[in-house]
Structure 1
C-alpha cells in the first residue's frame, strides 16, 4: 500500500530510507491519499462531473473573499473556503483569447484566437476543445451563456464538442450577431442553433437551464460550462439587485459601478443556487467545480483591484491575473492557497488527469496538469516561464506588441501604451521606459518600480524566452483555418455579420442604429460548386426593417447602457441614422455585380421587400466554385462613395433540381 502511494506521489521506492526521508514520504502520502482513493473509483459511471463557471470581465478583486467591501458574495466566499485556490493564475488580458486558451490548452497564436473581432475570434478549425475531449470519453456536454469563438459552422459550440448549447450571439448580449434588440431581459437566445425566447434575466436563464441539464443527466458524467456575459458591458442588472446600492452615493457617482457590483451579486446568488442543487442531487462530492474570470476587471479604476496595477487589456498583473478556485470533495481537500505561477493553459491537462483520461502529448508552450501541485508535489516545470501578449485586434499578429514574460513572481513587462494603471492611491502614470520594465512582485506587488538595471541577466533570459516563444508560435499562416464556410450541409443558410470582417468592424446593435461605417471583407470557404444567393441587409432578418430611411430605436435598447461614449446612440436618440444608400454591390471569386436601390418596389429575385414595398434586402445570385476566397460587399451613395459594408448578409446555397 505504501509503495503504491510512493508511486502515486511520483517517488521511486528506494531501500534504506533515512528517518527524514520517511517522514517526508509520510507527509506526501497523507496529502495524496484522498486524491488517490478518488482515482481508484474512476470508471465511466464514477468519473467526476465537471462544472466550469467563467465570468466575464469580473477580474480578481470584486468579491468579498478577496477583500472587496462593496459587494456581498456569500456563495463565492463559501466556495473560496472549500477550494484549492491558485493565487498566481494568469490568462490572456481579453475575453475570446482567454476562452480559446482555456478550452484548447494552447497559446493564442497556435489556436488562432488573438482578438475579439475581425475574424480572429474564430477558434481555428481542427483545434480540439475540452468539450471534444470529454464528449469522446462518454461525458454529456453543455454550454450556457457566452461562446465568442465563432457563430458560423465550423466554429459554433455545437461543432466543437458541446451537445447542448444555449448561448447569446457574438461576444455579448447586444452584439451584432445577437438577436435584434436583446437587452438581458426576456431575450431570444440560440438553443441548439435555433432562436428561442426565454423569460428572465440572462444570468438567471443560464443557471436555470444548466441546473435543468444537470437534473436530466445526473446519472451520467457531465461537463457543464456556464460562461456568463456578466459583468461585461453593457452594464445592466435586475432592479432588485440595484436596490442594494441605493444611497451609496460614492458608488453611484461612478457610472456603471453600482450596476457592475449588482451583476456580480446576481452571479453569486446563482452560484449558490447551483451548489445547493448539486447537494440536493447528491452530486456535490463527486463534482469538480471550477470558478474563474476571463481577464482583469473591466472597472479596475472604480472597483477593488487587490492592490494590482492595470485591468482588462493591459499587461500588468491586474490585466491577466484572475481567481481560480477548484473544488472536488471526493478528490482532494480544499481551504488552501497555491502560489505557484500557473496559467489558463493548464486547465485542459488538469481536467484530463483529474477525470482519469489518457494523457495527450503537448509541446513545451502548452499547458501542464495542476494535479501534482494539488497533491502537494513539486513538478519539474515549477520554474517555467510563461509568455502572454495582447494583439489589440490586429488582423495579423505583430511581434513586440504589449507582452509579459512571467517566472514565479518576476515580470518582464513590455507595455508602452499610455494610460492610468490603478486608482487606489490616485496614481496615474505611464510606463517610463518603452523598452520594458522588470518587476519583482515579492517586494513590489503593485509593479511601481523597475529593477532591470539591478538584474540584467534575468532580463536577458526573459527576453530570450519571449523571442523563442514568438519564433515557435508564429510559424503558421495567421489566416489559415479562419475561413467561414458557406454552402455546407451543416449550416445553410449562413448568416454573416460585420463582426467578422477584416477591417473596420461594426460589432453591436448600437452601431447599426448609428449607421457606423464598417469596411472590410470576409474570409470564406465555398464548400461545393453551386448557385448561391446573397441577401444584403442593414438590419437583421428578424427585425424586418428597410435599408432606407429611419426606424424608431427599439424600446428595449433605450436603457441598455454601455457607459461608454462610443456606444450610447440608442440611449440618447429616438430614431436611427438614415443612410442614403443608392446602390449595393457584391464581389466574390470571379463574380461581381452592382444593383440600384429603389425607395419602393415589388418583391423579386433582386429585392426582398416589406408590406409597404420598402426594400429590406438586396439580393444577388452567383454560381460559385468550391474553394477559399474573399467576399466583399458595399452600400454606396449616389456618387459611388462607400457608406458601409452591409452589416448583415444571409448566404444560401440553392438546391439543385
Structure 2
C-alpha cells in the first residue's frame, strides 16, 4: 500500500512538473519577441574581424555573425554620437529632430560661416521616445550606459520610458559614475563589465516578461583605456600592415566583444535565445585622431606609447575614407549584426541599405504595436531586410552635418550605389559610385552631370522637407584664427543648473 501511494505521489509530481514546463514553453512561444540592442561608441566599420580587420579580436561578434546576418551597408544617421542616438530614439533624421551635433556642440567662431546650433540641447520633449513607445507596447525597458541626450534629471532615460536605467556620467573606465548612483562591487572594475552586469541582471529580473534592453557602451571612445592584461596581450601581438594596431584600442574592442558574449550566454542560460532578437551597432564611424590634436590615451596609460605616434592615433577605417566627424564612409558606415534564431538567416551577408532611423519602426513592428500618430518618421520597418526578403536597391538615405569637426559642413544623399556630397561652405559637390569606388577617391561630379542634377534635386527637396538648418556667412571671419576651437555658446546655459562637479564630468568628444 505504501509503495502504491509513493508511486501515485511520484507520478503526480512528475505530471505537475511536466505541466508547468509545458505552460512555460507555451508562454515563451506566445510572448512577444524580446529585443536586445547593443550599441558601441565610435567603433568603425573596419574595426571588426568580420569586416576584414586582421589585428583586433572579437570572436563572440564573429559567432553572432555566423548565427545571424551581417550587414555591409548599414549607416548611422550622423557622424557623431548625440544626433545618431536621437535618431534611434525618435525615428527621425537629425535635420528634422534638431539635434544636429553632439551636445552641446563644436564651435569655431572665426570660420567662413556661422554653423547652426542644436535646436534643443536634449532629446526633444515633444518626441515619443523609443523607450516610451516600447513601454506602451507592454515591454519591460532597460537602458544602461551612455545617453548623451540631455543633462540634468529631467532628461534622464528613466524619464523617457526606461523602467530601469543607469546613465554613465563620466569618471573614466575604472572609476565610473552613474545616475542614479550604482554601487560597483569592485571599484576598479572596467566600465564595460559594469554595464554588462547591469544588463544581465535586467535579463534575469525580466525573464518572464517581454523586454527591451538597450546596452549602450562607452568603449571604444577616447580617452582610450582598458584592462592591463588585455593591453599586454595586444602589445605582444605581431602588427599587420595598413592598420595602426593600437593595443589599447584593440583591448577595448575585445572588451565590447566580451560583453556581447556575456549577454548571449545569459540569454542561453535563461532559455530565451530563440525568442530574442539581438542587434549590434555603432553610433558613428571610427576615430583616427582627436579633432583637437591632443593625446587620445588616458593619462594612466600614456607611458605605453610615449614618443610614439600611437599616442595620437586610435584606428583606421581603410578601405573607407576619413573618420568620425565627416560624412565620408569612414564617418557614417557602421558594423551591424543581427541574430534571431529561426527567423533570420545564419551566416548570411546583406548589402541592404539600412539607417539608424529604421530601428524605431522596426522595433514597433516586432512589438506588434502602432506607431505614434502625431510623430513624423523618416525610417522604415526593415524586418523584410533583416529576414532577407527585401533589398530596395534604389533606396535614398540622407545626412546633414552642417558644422565644423574633422571636415567642413556638408550634406549628403546616397541613392543606390551613388552618393552626392554638398559642401555647405563653398557650394561645391562631390559624386561617387560606391559600388566601384568604396574609398571615395574618384569624384564624378564633372563627368556624370545627369546623375549630379538628379541627386542634387532630391537632396534639396529633402533639406526643405526636414527644415534642415544651414550655415550662414560669418561677418567675423578671420583667416588667421579660423581653426581655433572655442567653447560652444550654449555651454554655460546648458550647465548652469548642474553642480560644477557634474558639469566637469560631461563626456568629452
TM range (shorter): 0.7 to 0.9
- Unpaired runs of 5+ residues, structure 1, are 1-40, 174-181, 395-399, 418-432, 479-502, 507-517, 525-533, 544-556, 568-657
The Cα of 1:359 is off from its aligned counterpart by 4.6
Structure 1 segment 52-91 matched on structure 2, within 5 A: 52-91=37-76
Larger Rg: 1
Q: Is the 8 A contact 2:74 2:334 kept in 1?
A: yes
Residue range with higher mean Cα deviation, 304-313 or 340-349: 304-313
**Alignment root-mean-square deviation, CA:** 3.5
Q: Write out per-residue CA displacement over residues 219-267 of structure 1, whole angstroms, 9 at most, x where no aligned residue.
A: 001111111001001100011211112235868xx99922111101111
Correspondence 1:239 to 2:210:
no
Displacement of 1:166: 1.2
Assess if the C-alpha contact under 8 Å between 1:113 and 1:123 holds in 2.
yes
1:290 aligns with 2:272: no
TM-score (norm 1): 0.59
Equivalents in 2 of 1:364, 1:150: separation in Å?
Answer: 21
Deviation track 1:86-137 (CA, whole Å, cap 9, x = no partner) reads 2111111111111111121101122221111337341111112221111011
- The Cα of 1:296 is off from its aligned counterpart by 0.6
Q: 1:390 to 1:477 in 2, by over 3 A?
A: closer
| Residue matched to 2:162 | 162
Q: Note if 1:390 corresponds to 2:401.
A: yes
- Aligned equivalent of 2:493: 522
Displacement after TM superposition at 1:519 (Å): 8.1
- 1:2-41 aligned at under 5 Å gives the runs none
Match runs of 1:36-51 below 5 Å: 46-51=31-36
State whether structure 2 residue 421 is matched by structure 1 residue 413.
Answer: yes
Please give the per-residue CA displacement for 1:438-458, whole angstroms capped at 9, x wherever unaligned. Answer: 101121111110112332121
Counterpart of 2:386 in structure 1 is 374
Alignment match, 2:335: 323
C-alpha contact 2:128 2:375 (8 A) present in aligned 1 = no
Matching of residue 117 in structure 1 with residue 103 in structure 2: yes
Rate the CA distance shift 1:377–1:250 in 2: closer, same or farther, 3 A.
Answer: closer
Question: Following the alignment from structure 1 to structure 2, what is the Cα–Cα distance between the partners of residues 134 and 231?
Answer: 28
Structure 2-normalised TM-score?
A: 0.76
1:68–1:304: 8 Å Cα contact kept in structure 2? Answer: no
Q: What are the Cα deviations for residues 352-402 of structure 1, in whole angstroms up to 9, with x where unaligned?
A: 1122223556988600111222344347x65232110213379xxxxx931
Counterpart Cα distance in 1 of 2:427 and 2:98: 28
Asked if 2 retains the 8 angstrom alpha-carbon contact of 1:56 and 1:294, the reply is yes
Matched, 1:468 2:476: no
Q: Does 1:105 align with 2:98?
A: no
Q: Which residue of 2 aligns with 1:505?
A: 487
List per-residue Cα deviations over 1:195-231 (Å, max 9, x = no partner): 6555311000000110011011100011111110010
Q: Which aligned segments of 4 or more residues in structure 1 are displaced greater than 6 angstroms?
A: 41-44, 362-365, 475-478, 534-537
More helix by share: 2
8 Å Cα contact 1:207/1:274 also seen in 2: yes
Aligned CA distance change for structure 1 residues 44 and 393 (closer, same or farther; 3 Å): farther
1:109-508 map, 5 Å: 109-118=95-104, 120=118, 121-169=121-169, 173=170, 182-191=171-180, 194=181, 196-197=183-184, 199=186, 200-248=189-237, 257-299=246-288, 303-359=315-371, 366-378=378-390, 382-392=393-403, 401-415=409-423, 435-474=428-467, 504-505=486-487
| SS in structure 1 of the partner of residue 453 of structure 2 | helix
Q: Is the 8 A contact 1:315 1:415 kept in 2?
A: no
Partner SS state of residue 414, structure 1: strand
Aligned residues: 427
CA distance in 1, matches of 2:27, 2:98: 34
1:265 partner SS: helix
Contact 1:115 1:393 in 2 (8 A): no
Contact (CA 8 Å) 1:390, 1:401: kept in 2 or not? yes
Q: If each structure's strand is expressed as a fraction of its own residues, which one has the higher value?
A: 1
In structure 2, distance between residues paired with 1:370 and 1:99: 18
**Distance in 1 of aligned mates of 2:502 and 2:277:** 41
Shift of 1:309: 0.7
